[in-house]
Structure 1
């Protein structure tokens, strides 16, 4: 059953949206970690496809949405410009890891179970480690914004 529009598609994301995104990202990280722990065996093709779709969703919409929310917090109640730049760099690396991981998973499907398994395990771990690191940073900013009573405002043009 398909659900209607979700907060993932919200035009004006909020701190709550980011917390929901983080729950989705943590679940993805757990699934990727379990996949890494189960190598060289891979799940059936439909599961690999769903996993790849989830990775790309996180690397796309979730990362961009987080940057938008933090940029729209009132001055002095969110991360500094330098901190935002650090987040952008983390997200750029996570997006690169996502692209590489999806490509490696598809490349690994149908191969001999032992072919390049070490490389795939490393890529899986890089992805979930990077995601978890970014989540921790963003959650510290969310907590600070909540303590200050801040919510993202309309983005100045």
Structure 2
């Protein structure tokens, strides 16, 4: 069995009058993330980690923010397409470990729903997905509540 590790990172700016989507679920908040798609920073970091592990470039290569077909797209669709791409290469997801950096809203209450939604989309067990929430202790753009960032590491297995 061959294993591959991938790392992903993404960041989006918080803006008024946008819905906040994280981990495939809508979270009530006064601001949302700006982006060409629904700007789900968690899913975007996860897609980059999956694509990187399979040596398939990155999310911008497969789903460019200049393409009209991806305007306001649900990032769960991008994740499903990403998982299809890696499975066509013979890989299965071993596990995913994701960290989201945000001062507000508090994300811990939403983590079980995020894990459930991601497991459903990727057709894996919830126990194979770890999601953690942290702050930057009021430092930097995240601390000033200007944006949210996410980091993801995945393990792929090729049998």
Q: TM-score, normalised on structure 1?
A: 0.29
Q: TM-score, normalised on structure 2?
A: 0.29
Q: Which has the higher helix share?
A: 1
Q: Which has the higher strand share?
A: 2
